[in-house]
Amino acid sequence: MAIKVGDTAPNFTLPSQSGSPVSLSDFRGKPVVVYFYPKDDTPGCTVESCAFRDQYEVFKSAGAEVIGISGDSPESHQKFASKHQLPFTLLSDKDNKVRKQYGATAAFGLFPGRVTYVIDKDGVVRYVFDSMFNFKGHVEEALKTLQALVNN
Please confirm, yes or no, whether 50 is among the known catalytic residues.
Answer: no
State whether residue 50 is helix, strand or coil: helix
The residue from 9, 24, 34, 45 that is catalytic is 45
State the Cα–Cα distance between residues 16 and 152, nearest whole angstrom.
32
Residue partners of 54: CB distance under 8 A and separation at least 6? 139
Pick the closest to residue 19 from 99, 90, 88 (CA basis).
Answer: 90
Scanning 3-136, the segments in alpha helix (DSSP H) are: 43-54, 56-61, 74-83, 97-102
Active-site annotation, residues: 45
